[in-house]
Structure 1
Amino acid sequence: MSINYDIEFQPQLDNCILYAIRCNVKELYLEFLSNIYDNEFVLDQIFFTSSCLTELRLEGCMLNPVGAISWKSLRKLCISEYWGFDEDLIENILSGSPVLETLVLNHCYVYRRLDITSKSVKNLVLFEYKVSDGDSEADIIEINAPNILSLTLQGWIFLCKPLLLNVSSSVKARLDFSFTKLEPNEVEEEVLKECIMNLHHVKELQLGVVCSMVLSGLEAKGFVCPSNVKLTG
């Protein structure tokens, strides 16, 4: 369901979503497009207590539950284009989604730390990250996900670097990101080198085009690339 959103249609859209939930839909895709910045569709509280959903994709939606989330059957969650994604919301989602396996955050901003300690979540995908203008304290995003098996960092990253605190269970990872801060090449090389070393234990580490180019610069300076690295181009 892709809709050009206008706030005057909120009641009608609420009724459509409520009908879908009452019909016990398992897969729900909601994409709301608005010409007004920060005019995201506000989801009704009943939406956060649907026990039948197994896959959920949300774009342009405001996730502001007034109580606990209860998505007991949800296995895949993809959230896109959301500026209010913070640490409290992450905790609420994980605590209310006991069988969640895949979490995709696409153009979701504000959060500075990802604590994915749920034992059910095995796949984590982060596509693009940006901090508020002038917010220098959020130049590093910390990722603590000790139980995930697969990690993907992709798209433009508007910060200094991702800091992988703990991804010790990962067996597969993909680094396909580009830096948008105007940093010297040496900084990009050090960031990629740190990511590679923190992922030395994975069976397969895929590098996208930009990361592969940065790696070439590292190797020219004597860096020995681990055997698990695969250039995908």
Structure 2
Amino acid sequence: MKKIIGLLIALLPFSFCAKEKNVIVPKSLETKNMEKQGDLEIATFAGGCFWCTEAVFLQLDGVSKVVSGYIGGNTVNPTYNDISTGETGHAEAIEITFDPKKISFGELLEIFFATHDPTTLNRQGADAGTQYRSEIFYHNDNQKQLSQDYIALMTQENTFGKPIVTKISAATKFYVAEDYHQNYYNQNKTQGYCSYVITPKIDKLKKMYQGKLKK
């Protein structure tokens, strides 16, 4: 394992996390050959319903764009109906464009693991199926290494009290989801799923990470 510069913090878990525990959170490694959009970089995460993950990461200072879509499967140009069968192999995921001068990939990892349950295989809450799996899709060797180191540290600390099942895979073709899925939470806050599942998560994010949020 590469030498990691660690920052000791308390990860206060969300309601579905097993227990509260101090863990070492590695900072972002020096990046090389990073996939970029100008001075910006890209991260791709799958952590259950993309309405939830999109809503979380849109709150963060340094994140300029979050796009919901599908990744990790075999079907070309899949639709929501296609991936909902669980037969295409795709995960609901988000593609995050971020400014590493404001927020590091390591910080994105921290929030990714704090805002979903990485111990449930192909499930987040009531959402079940391979499309709801926990997976990191890395864009370069540094993202891969940091993701591996992060999971190894949490495993060593037994952060969740159960094995972490999050997969780490090379990023493949990302298919942008239908328009009505984009910015879904902000346009549908009174909808039942948003009110009962996403809003409490956003409230806890604001409480835990106030210093990382957009002003």
Which band: TM-score by shorter chain? under 0.3
What TM-score, normalized to structure 2?
0.23
Q: Say which structure is richer in helix.
A: 2
More RCO (CA 8 Å, sep 6+) = 2
What TM-score, normalized to structure 1?
0.21
